């Protein structure tokens, strides 16, 4: 599995790249704007993007800001032409740029098809369902980015939980525990109703099922797993970038289900390397070093 860093902070990108673990970068206009503003006018946004591209040898995803197909295509071409001399540019296109009251639902797919047909690599973002991922792959996207963490948040809010009160952004979503709780509730309901038919008709059971998943998607990891399975079933060449990753355990789980790539904030990469028992072991190791063994290293 490849690891991308989800950041626009050049220091973070350079440090992670020096560790030898980073294969690419994903970013967005807001992150770039924040990074540039921290430098208080010492560098332009254009030069900053060039610096990011020159820092890594792998792909760097840059995002369009339009929502109409023709404008996204124009911006994608512009970004690719302007910045590809400095690195491997990938253009981020949203799967569905519609705001809900327009007719732009398929404009993302139109842009993906056109840019991909011109040899410009596309990362299809804001993917929340396997159905969307199928369409993006059919349109020719090189990458699809299912937003695992956002799906976890969505399911928790459907259950009545509030971010910042009942859970924090980085908290692990224990969908296995939730599945066990749901099964217990369902068994209780079946016993109460006395027959499978009556239980199946029960609105109470339907409500339990509805609020604890998203149309058959049990979690963000489950979303990634289903997309990986479908792509492999049909031989799609599109690679799956597990995105919106909130913690190290999520990284492990998307790796277990076969994600091609995971894109991570710097703090999640730091979380992956640390464990209390490793720290304890290093302290024991240092304290156990005997003078005679140290002397071996002094004799050259």
Residue 173: both structure tokens together: 């979503």
Give the 3-state secondary structure of residue 216.
Answer: coil
**Confidence at residue 209, expressed as pLDDT on a 0 to 100 scale:** 87
* Weakly modelled stretches of the chain, pLDDT under 50: none
Encoded tokens for 130: 């396997």
Q: SS in 3 state form for 84-111?
A: HHHCEEEEEEECCCCCCCCCCCCHHHHH
Instruction: Give CA–CA dist 44/28, Å, rounded.
Output: 16
Predicted local distance difference test score (pLDDT) of residue 65: 95
* CB count in 10 Å sphere of residue 28: 15
Domain boundaries, the chain: 2-152+217-276
User: How far is residue 132's CA from residue 80's CA, in Å, rounded to a whole number?
Assistant: 24
Cross-strand bridge partners of residue 146: 127
CA distances from 66 to 104, 119, 187 (A): 11, 20, 49
List of long-range contacts for 144-147, beta carbons under 8 Å, 24+ apart: 144/95, 144/227, 144/238, 144/239, 144/240, 144/241, 145/26, 145/92, 145/241, 145/242, 145/243, 145/263, 146/220, 146/223, 146/224, 146/227, 146/240, 146/241, 146/242, 146/243, 147/220, 147/243, 147/244
Return the CATH fold of 2-152+217-276.
TIM Barrel (3.20.20)
**Distance (Å, whole) CA 123 – CA 94:** 8
Q: Give the pLDDT score at 300.
A: 64
b/e map 38-63, b = 16+ CB within 10 Å: eeeeeeeeeebbbebbebbebbbbbb
Q: In this structure, how many other beta carbons lie within 10 angstroms of the beta carbon of residue 31?
A: 16
- Decide if 92 is catalytic: yes
Per-residue model confidence (pLDDT) at position 24: 97
pLDDT of residue 298: 79
What are the structure tokens assigned to 35, written together?
Answer: 């990074």
Q: How many CB atoms lie under 10 A from the CB of residue 299?
A: 5
Point out the catalytic residue in the list 34, 81, 92, 192: 92
């Amino acid at each position: 599995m490849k690891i991308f860093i989800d950041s626009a902070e050049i220091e973070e990108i350079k440090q992670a790249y020096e560790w030898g673990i980073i294969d690419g970068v994903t970013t967005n206009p807001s992150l770039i704007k924040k990074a540039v503003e921290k430098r208080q006018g010492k560098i332009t946004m254009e030069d900053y993007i060039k610096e990011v591209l020159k820092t890594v040898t792998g792909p760097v995803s840059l995002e369009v800001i339009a929502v109409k197909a023709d404008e996204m295509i124009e911006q994608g071409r512009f970004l690719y032409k302007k910045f590809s001399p400095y690195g491997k540019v990938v253009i981020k296109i949203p799967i569905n740029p519609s705001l809900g009251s327009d007719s732009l639902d398929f404009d993302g797919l139109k842009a993906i098809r056109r840019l991909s047909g011109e040899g410009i690599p596309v990362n299809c973002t804001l993917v929340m369902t396997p159905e969307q991922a199928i369409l993006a792959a059919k349109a020719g996207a090189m990458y699809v980015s299912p937003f695992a963490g956002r799906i976890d948040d969505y399911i928790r809010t459907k259950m009545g939980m509030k971010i910042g009160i009942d859970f924090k952004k980085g908290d692990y979503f224990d969908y296995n525990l939730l599945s066990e709780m749901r099964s217990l509730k369902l068994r209780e309901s079946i016993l109460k109703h006395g027959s499978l038919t009556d239980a199946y008709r029960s609105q109470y059971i339907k409500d339990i099922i509805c609020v604890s998943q998203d149309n058959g998607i049990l979690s963000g990891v489950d979303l990634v797993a289903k997309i990986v399975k479908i792509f492999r079933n049909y031989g799609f060449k599109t690679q799956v970038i597990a995105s919106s990753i909130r913690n190290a355990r999520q990284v492990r789980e998307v790796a277990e289900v076969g994600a091609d790539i995971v894109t991570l904030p710097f703090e999640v990469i730091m979380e992956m390397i640390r464990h209390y028992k490793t720290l304890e072991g290093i302290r024991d190791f240092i304290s156990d070093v005997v003078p005679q063994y140290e002397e071996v290293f002094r004799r050259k």
